[in-house]
Amino acid sequence: MALRKIITEEDPILRKKSKVVTVFDANLKELFKDMLDTVNKAQGAGISAVQVGILKRMFIIFDHKDPVFIVNPELIKYSGINKITMEGCLSLPGKWGDVERPNKVWVKYQDQDGNIVENKFTGFVAKAFCHEYDHLDGILYVDKADKLFNSYEEYIKYKKSQNKADDKK
């Protein structure tokens, strides 16, 4: 197991644009293995290479518990905006926010061997794809969040107060 340090929001690398991957070799697979070990240890829903300090257009998300290794992704189209839901990030520990994301995304990317893959992701997986995809362009979820919270407890308290207000209507 090779764990990588997860870069946090103070590091300016998170705001840089990642570079296209052109070499698909054992080093790329080793980086993916390290990223998988790191995201599993952190119990995250995904991780991009930039979050471990590598400016490459690649990330991992989970489609039902199975990791999907994504290189040089393209977002082809999307539909069905999710209602605004809670989002967090391994690079912004302890922070949460309400972010609007598509419910379905049609994407094109390369796998670890450089093969072209076309896929459709829905629900939480579509949201995770968009979150990690944004990382590749230096965008953090806090840039898109309607509301931000400094703890999960603060977020839950706010949501409960909103639900009570909605129930009174």
Least Cα distance to 136 among 46, 68, 67, 63 occurs for 46
Residue 138: CB atoms within 10 A of its CB come to: 16
Catalytic residues: 132
Tokens linked to 27: 């080093």
Phi, psi of 23 (to 5 degrees): -115, 120
Phi, psi of 100 (to 5 degrees): -90, 125
37 near 31, Cβ under 8 Å?
no
